[in-house]
Structure 1
Amino acid sequence: MKVPSRVDTIFVGGGGASYPGAFELAKAGQSVLMVDDKGNLGGDCLYAGCIPSKSVRTRILDYTSTTNKVDPDEVWKAAIELKEWVQEIRYEQHREEIKEHEPNLTFLKGWAVIEGPNTVRISTEEGEVKVETKNLVIGAGAENVILNIPGKELVLTSDDLFAYRRAIKRPPRSLAIIGGGYIGVEVADMLSRLGVHVTIVEMMDRLLPNMPPDMSKAAMQRMQEAGVDVHLGFAAAGIERRGEYKVLKARSKDGRELEVEAEEVLMAVGRRPRTRNYGLESLQAQGLELDRGAIKVTPGMKTTISNVYATGDVTGKAMLFHAAVKESIIAAKNILAGGRELYRFNYHSVPYTVFTYPEIAVVGYTEDELQAAGIPYEVVLYRLAGDAQSQIVGHREGWMKIILEKESLRVLGFQAYAHNAADLSAVFALAIENNLTAKNLAWVAGPHPLTFEAINYAMRPYF
C-alpha cells in the first residue's frame, strides 16, 4: 500500500473515537490517514468489549430465560460462536466502509508514534514511514487496570472472556471478581445464570460506586437474587495457587482479612486512558496537558495544542463507545470549521448503562449535582409494577426516577432499573440534549404495550 507523505488529518486509533470523524473528513474532501494496530476498525469495543460481551449476554439469556436446567459448557460454546459471528460481520462491514471512503481515506495497520503536532512515525510490517499532517486526532482508547499485587499474573481480564478468537473455551465453575463496577457486575450476572459460583470483592462500600446510590442498591438486589456473594469494603491484597484453585486474599480498612477460593480470578477494577508508548511525551514537551492521567480537552475536543484533538477514552471523560463516536464527529466538524469550536459536547446527555437483567441506566444530572449547584428540582418516581410490558416479561420490580427542573419542568436527569432501562435512557438522552420538558414527553404517544408508555404515564400530571 502506498502511504501518503502528507495529509490533512491523521487519526491515531481505529475505534469509535476515530473512524466516524475520519469518515466525515474524507466525505468533505480532506486527505485522511487512520492508523490502528489491530488492522481493522472498531477498537476495543468490537475486539473485546461492548459488542462481544453483549452478544454473550444475549445468548446466555436466550437459554436461561426458558429453562433453569442448562449445560453451562454448551451455552458458553453457543455464546462464543454468536459473538465471533457478530464480530466477523462487523469487521467485514468496516472493511467495506473503508473502501467506500477511499481514496481520500487511507487506513493503515501499524503502530503510530507521535513525534510532534505535525509528524507521526508509523511502524508497519513493511517498515517505517513518517507522515506530516495539518491536524492530529488522538483516539488511542483505554487499557485494563491491573492492580500491582502479588499473583497478578494469575488473573483473567475481560479480554479472556470476550476477545476476538481468544476467549476461554468453557466457563469456570467458580469465579472471584476483583471489582464491583459495571464490568464485574455484568460478568457476575451473566455467569451466575450458568450456575457459576461468583464472588465479588469490592474495596468501596457499595457496588457501582461511580453511580448514584439507588443504582448501587439495584445492583445489590440483582446480585442477591442471582446468588452472588458480595464482600464490600475489602481491597484485594494478593492471589496465590492452592491446588486446582486460586485464592484471592483481601483486607478491609479495619484489618479484617478475607480469602475467596475459586477456579479463576477476574480483575475488573476499571480501565484507564492509554497514554503510554505512542509518543505522547513529545507533545507534552510542546504544551500538551494531562488531567488526572487523561488528555485534557475542551468541550470541542481541542487539546492545549491548537491543531491537536483528543477523543474517546483517552480523554477520561465519558469512557463509552457512544460518547467516543460523538466526540470524534465533533472534532471532525470543528476541524472543518477551521479550528473554531462550533460544536461542543454536553456530557450530561450521555447515558450510562449496566447490562444486568433487569438493566440499570443513568443519564443527566444526579440529585447530588443539582444540590451542589443550587438548582431547584423535583423527582418523579414511577414504579413499573403496573406497566404492561414489565408484566409480560415478568419483571415488575422495575422503576424509573425522572428529575425535573422545578419551574420550567425541563428534564435534567433519569435513572432506571428495568428490563429495558438502556432503551428508556435513550429517550431521556434525547430530552436532555434538546432541553425537552415533562410536557413534551407527556404528549408523546408511546407504543403499546411497551414500557415507553410508562414515560407518558409518569409525565401526564404535567400536561
Structure 2
Amino acid sequence: MDQTYDVVVLGAGSTGENVADTVVRGGLTAVLVEDELVGGECSYWACMPSKALLRGTEVLAEARAVDGARQAVTGEQDVAATLARRDSFTSNWDDAGQVEWVRGAGIDLVRGRGRLAGERAVVVTGPDGAETRLIARHAVAVCTGSTAAMPPIDGLAQVQAWSPREATSAKETPRRLLILGGGYVGCEMATAWQALGSRVTLLQRDDRLLPKAEPAAGKAVTAALRAGGVDVRLDTDVTSARRQGDEVVLTVTSEGGRQEEVRGDELLVAVGRAARTRDIGLDTVGLAPGDPLQVDDTLQVRDRPWLYGVGDVNGRRQLTHMGKYQARQAGAAIVGRARGEDVDTSDWSPFVATADRYATPSVVFTIPQVASVGRTSADAEDAGLPHRVVEIPLKVAGSSLFADDYEGTAIAVVDTEREVLLGVTFVGPAVAELLQAATMAVVGEVPIARLWHAVPAYPTVSEIWLRLLEAYRG
C-alpha cells in the first residue's frame, strides 16, 4: 500500500533531519528514510568522534604552552579513556536518542534502503526485504550525503584500507598508520593518532598540505606535524598498494622520480568525498547515477521542480554545517512553494542558499587550528576581484596571555573597490573561536570603515582585528 506525505526525505543524517524539521514546522507532513544510523555521518563517523579524539591532545598542548601549568602535566593521554570518551559522543553507535528526537518532532521514520521510483515516488526495501512505497505530494529531498573517494591505485581495492569511518571508530591505536591525503581529514587524523601512540606517515601528492587553504596554513600545520613526529611527505605519488602478511606496502614516487616502499599496519585513504547518488534510482527520473545533483540556489534539481538535492549530494560545500544551512533554506522553499507563495530567488531571499558560494566557514582542528571563511587570496585572484591581502603575525596581548611564545597568523583578503572583507583566515591555537565574528563580517559585507567601531575587548585574542585594520590602513 502506498503511503503519502507532503515531503519524503531520503537520508536521515543531519541534513535530512533539518529538511524534515523545517517543513514540519512549516505545517507539512514529512517522512525520513534511512538504512543506517539516524543522525548520519557527522554524529557517528565524522565531526563528533574525530573532534573527541583530538580534544585531549589540544588540551594538553594548551596546558604545556603555559609556564606554571606545564609543570603540572606529568603524564601522557590515557588512550583507553580517550577512546571511551569518543564512544560516548557517538552513543556507542546507537541511534535510539536520535530516533526519539525524530518522533518528538512529529516526523515519521521508515527504516530501509530507499530508491527513487519515478516522479515523486520512493520505494523502501526494509531489513526483512519487504517494500514500502512512499509518495510525495510536494517534494522529494535527496539527502544521502557522500562517501569516501577511492583513487584508482593499483591494488588499493585489495588491501582493506581504512576510510575516515574506520579512522574515527578504531578500537585501538594502530602501531603504524599510513595516511594518503593531506586535506583536513588526513591532517586531523595524523594529529590525533600520532598523539595517541601511532607512528604516522602522511603522504601528500600536492606540494603542500591543505592545498585549498592559504599557503601559511599548510606550512604551519606541516611544521607542527613534523615537530610532533609525523613523517610528512609532500610531492609524493602512491603508484601501487599490496598486503604482505599483516603489513600494508605502498610503492611511492617522490619528487625527482625516486621510488621506494613505505610500510604500515593500517592505511587511511583520505583524498576527498563523492556524492552518494550511485544506487538511489536517479535513472528512473532521467538523471545519471553517481553524479552530484545539479541544483539551483533553492536546492531544487534543475528541470525537476519536485526534486531537491541537499547537502553533500550536490557537491557545493561538503561540510556538516553547510548541509544544515542548505536544509533550512531548502525546507523554507518547499514550504513556500507548497503554500503557493512566490519564492524569491534573489541573493538575500530567505529561500536561497548563498553562503556556500562565497562565505563558507570551516575549521581544521589540527594543532595549530586553521579557521577560515570566504575567499582565499587565490580565490580572489581566480575570480578577477580587485583585492589586497593583509597577512600579519597573530601577536597581541591576548595571545601572549593565552600561551607562552604563541605563534599564529592572521590573513585578510579585502575587496579594494568596495572596502569589504572577501575572506579571513586565522592560524594558531584556539583560533576557531575567532571565526564567527569573521563570518558575520564577510556575510554582512560590513564596510572596513564600520569595523573600526567594533572595539575588541582587552586583553583578548580578538585584538587581532584591530591589528588587521591597522595593517590595511598602512
| TM-score normalised by length of structure 1 | 0.89
Native 8 Å contact 1:13 1:141 kept in 2: yes
Q: 1:48 aligns with which of 45, 52, 55?
A: 45
Native 8 Å contact 1:154 1:239 kept in 2: no
Native 8 Å contact 2:9 2:16 kept in 1: yes
CA distance in 1, matches of 2:199, 2:460: 34
What residue number does 2:162 align with?
156
Assess, with a 3 A threshold, how the Cα gap between structure 1 residues 253 and 357 changes in structure 2: closer, same or farther: closer
What residue number does 1:146 align with?
150
Matches within 5 A, 1:91-110: 91=95, 94-102=98-106, 105-110=107-112
Shift of 1:214: 2.7
Find the residue that maps to 2:203 and give its secondary structure. Answer: strand
Find the residue that maps to 2:388 and give its secondary structure. Answer: strand
What RMSD, in angstroms, separates the aligned Cα atoms of the two structures? 2.6
What residue number does 2:408 align with?
398
Shift of 1:11: 0.7
Find the residue that maps to 2:117 and give its secondary structure. Answer: strand
CA offsets 1:375-412 (integer angstroms, 9 cap, x no match): 22222323223342354234621011112221432111
Native 8 Å contact 2:282 2:288 kept in 1: no
CA distance in 2, matches of 1:276, 1:390: 51
Native 8 Å contact 2:398 2:462 kept in 1: no
Task: Tell me whether 1:367 sits opposite 2:377 in the alignment.
Answer: yes
Native 8 Å contact 1:218 1:360 kept in 2: no
CA distance in 2, matches of 1:302, 1:421: 35
Q: What code does the residue aligned with 1:81 have?
A: A
Shift of 1:462: 7.5
Find the residue that maps to 1:154 and give its secondary structure. Answer: coil
What residue number does 1:83 align with?
86
Find the residue that maps to 1:445 and give its secondary structure. Answer: coil
What residue number does 1:128 align with?
131
Q: 1:270 aligns with which of 269, 272, 285?
A: 272
CA distance in 1, matches of 2:410, 2:298: 32
CA distance in 2, matches of 1:168, 1:385: 38
Matches within 5 A, 1:313-352: 313-338=312-337, 340=343, 341=345, 342=349, 343-346=351-354, 347=356, 348-352=358-362
Shift of 1:276: 1.1
CA distance in 2, matches of 1:39, 1:193: 29
Native 8 Å contact 2:180 2:270 kept in 1: yes
Find the residue that maps to 2:123 and give its secondary structure. Answer: strand
CA distance in 2, matches of 1:29, 1:211: 42
Matches within 5 A, 1:222-371: 222-252=224-254, 255-283=257-285, 285=286, 288=287, 293-304=291-302, 305-338=304-337, 340=343, 341=345, 342=349, 343-346=351-354, 347=356, 348-371=358-381
CA distance in 1, matches of 2:412, 2:195: 31
Shift of 1:9: 0.6
Assess, with a 3 A threshold, how the Cα gap between structure 1 residues 424 and 311 changes in structure 2: closer, same or farther: same
CA distance in 1, matches of 2:209, 2:459: 32
Q: 2:425 aligns with which of 415, 433, 436?
A: 415
Q: What code does the residue aligned with 2:160 have?
A: L
Native 8 Å contact 1:140 1:314 kept in 2: yes
CA distance in 2, matches of 1:398, 1:415: 11
Shift of 1:445: 3.5
Find the residue that maps to 1:294 and give its secondary structure. Answer: coil
CA distance in 2, matches of 1:460, 1:87: 45
Shift of 1:197: 1.9
Task: Tell me whether 1:26 sits opposite 2:24 in the alignment.
Answer: yes
Shift of 1:256: 2.5
Native 8 Å contact 1:60 1:76 kept in 2: no
Find the residue that maps to 2:465 and give its secondary structure. Answer: helix
Native 8 Å contact 1:39 1:109 kept in 2: no
| TM-score normalised by length of structure 2 | 0.87
Find the residue that maps to 2:232 and give its secondary structure. Answer: strand
Q: What code does the residue aligned with 1:277 have?
A: D
CA distance in 1, matches of 2:2, 2:428: 51
Find the residue that maps to 2:337 and give its secondary structure. Answer: coil
Find the residue that maps to 1:9 and give its secondary structure. Answer: strand
Farther off after superposition, 320-329 or 213-222? 213-222
Shift of 1:440: 3.3
Assess, with a 3 A threshold, how the Cα gap between structure 1 residues 39 and 367 changes in structure 2: closer, same or farther: closer
Shift of 1:71: 5.7
CA distance in 1, matches of 2:392, 2:419: 16
Q: What code does the residue aligned with 2:163 have?
A: T
Unaligned runs of 5+ in 2: 65-69
Shift of 1:139: 0.7
Native 8 Å contact 1:289 1:296 kept in 2: no
Shift of 1:37: 1.3
CA distance in 2, matches of 1:252, 1:386: 40
CA distance in 2, matches of 1:123, 1:440: 57
CA distance in 2, matches of 1:38, 1:122: 13
Find the residue that maps to 1:317 and give its secondary structure. Answer: coil
Find the residue that maps to 2:15 and give its secondary structure. Answer: coil
CA distance in 1, matches of 2:328, 2:337: 14
Task: Tell me whether 1:381 sits opposite 2:391 in the alignment.
Answer: yes
What residue number does 1:7 align with?
5
CA offsets 1:94-146 (integer angstroms, 9 cap, x no match): 334313322xx212222111112310001123521101102011111010122
Find the residue that maps to 2:56 and give its secondary structure. Answer: helix
Native 8 Å contact 2:371 2:425 kept in 1: yes
Unaligned runs of 5+ in 1: none
Find the residue that maps to 2:395 and give its secondary structure. Answer: helix
When the two structures are aligned, how many residues end up with a matched partner?
Answer: 448
Native 8 Å contact 1:179 1:203 kept in 2: yes
Shift of 1:4: 7.1
Shift of 1:38: 2.1
CA distance in 2, matches of 1:394, 1:320: 33
CA offsets 1:259-315 (integer angstroms, 9 cap, x no match): 1122222111121111111112212x2xx478x931111122111111111111111
CA offsets 1:235-270 (integer angstroms, 9 cap, x no match): 222233445533221225864212112222211112
Native 8 Å contact 1:387 1:454 kept in 2: no
Find the residue that maps to 1:18 and give its secondary structure. Answer: helix
Shift of 1:442: 2.8
Assess, with a 3 A threshold, how the Cα gap between structure 1 residues 84 and 447 changes in structure 2: closer, same or farther: farther
Farther off after superposition, 391-400 or 238-247? 238-247
CA distance in 2, matches of 1:441, 1:335: 37
Shift of 1:82: 0.9
Find the residue that maps to 1:302 and give its secondary structure. Answer: coil
What residue number does 1:177 align with?
179
Native 8 Å contact 1:439 1:460 kept in 2: no
Find the residue that maps to 1:385 and give its secondary structure. Answer: coil
